[in-house]
Amino acid sequence: MKFGIVVFPGSNCDRDVQTAARAAGYEADFIWHTDTSVDGFDCLVLPGGFSYGDYLRTAAIARFSPVMESVARYAASGRTVIGICNGFQVLLESGLLPGAMLRNTSCKFVCRPQRIRVESTLTPFTSKFRRGQVITLPIAHGDGNYHAGDETLLQMEMDGQVVFRYCDESGEPTPESNPNGSLNNIAGICNKAGNVLGMMPHPERAAERILGGAEGRLLFDSVAQWVQGGGRIA
């Protein structure tokens, strides 16, 4: 099992992802944003950070990096792609996921542990979790306020594309537990096919007990199980 981590100018969580993947027993190497080949990898990860300094708006420039055409083809072939924080924003800007990100309603950068609820275990990224499981992952963003049109949002909910939702300790997605104003307390979504995941929380920062929690490792293990089982979405 080998993860390919796309590195843009301004990425700062690439080594975190590599360390988490390797700690879980998997290979992980970097892919520079000007590379056009993503061959040899079982899953691509677009990590967090501030790609191109987040000029214009978050991820608006990164979407034009040469590697993104290869990422789009990779996703279209049914293989798995994960976007974390800024990586999620890149996937939105690239059209690989629906919706857009706005500034946090507080207009402040939010950095803290955050409870989220697992909404679906029917994706390649969540098979090791339990549906309804409440986990705690770190968040660190200023533009995590997920929005989509009413029809898009309704269709996503109906199709089971909401993968993670911000919640309180009892698992309720309350306004108070929403750190950024995201519609429907959305913390992570997938595409309709289910092989592309975007999430604002950082699983790589909670993948070893020494970091205070290892629940994030379940995401890496879920992908590995799916890939090693021959998984590819047609």
For 155: left if phi > 0, alpha if psi spans -120 to 50, otherwise beta; the answer is: alpha
The answer to whether residue 233 is domain-embedded is: no
CA dihedral 139, 102, 74, 163 (to 10 degrees): 60
Question: pLDDT grade, residue 232 (50/70/90)?
Answer: low
The answer to whether residue 60 is domain-embedded is: yes
Residue 137 β-bridge partners: 114
Local structure of 73: helix, strand or coil: helix
Q: What is the domain-level CATH number for residue 223?
A: 3.40.50.880
The answer to whether residue 234 is domain-embedded is: no
Domain that holds residue 85: 2-228
End-to-end CA distance of the chain: 20
Q: Which of 46, 17, 42 is nearest to 208 (CA)?
A: 17
Residues 6+ apart with CB under 8 A from 115: 134, 135, 136, 166, 167, 168, 169, 177
- What pLDDT score does 62 carry? 94
Q: What percent of the chain has pLDDT over 70?
A: 98
- Mean pLDDT confidence for 106-121: 97
Catalytic residue, chosen from 13, 43, 85, 190, is 85
Consecutive H or E run containing 146: strand 145-147
Residues 6+ apart with CB under 8 A from 127: 121, 222, 225, 226
| pLDDT over threshold 80, residue 126 | yes
The answer to whether residue 7 is domain-embedded is: yes
When the pLDDT of each residue in the chain is averaged and rounded to a whole number, the result is 96
- What pLDDT score does 227 carry? 93
Q: What is the pLDDT of residues 161-217, one digit of tens each?
A: 999 999 999 999 999 999 999 999 999 999 999 999 999 999 999 999 998 899 999
What global pTM score does this model have? 0.96
* Least confident window among 87-91, 122-126, 227-231: 227-231
Annotation says 85 is catalytic: yes
Give the count of domains, the chain: 1
The answer to whether residue 181 is domain-embedded is: yes
| pLDDT over threshold 80, residue 81 | yes
- DSSP string across 29-45: EEEETT----TT-SEEE
- What pLDDT score does 42 carry? 96
Annotation says 147 is catalytic: no
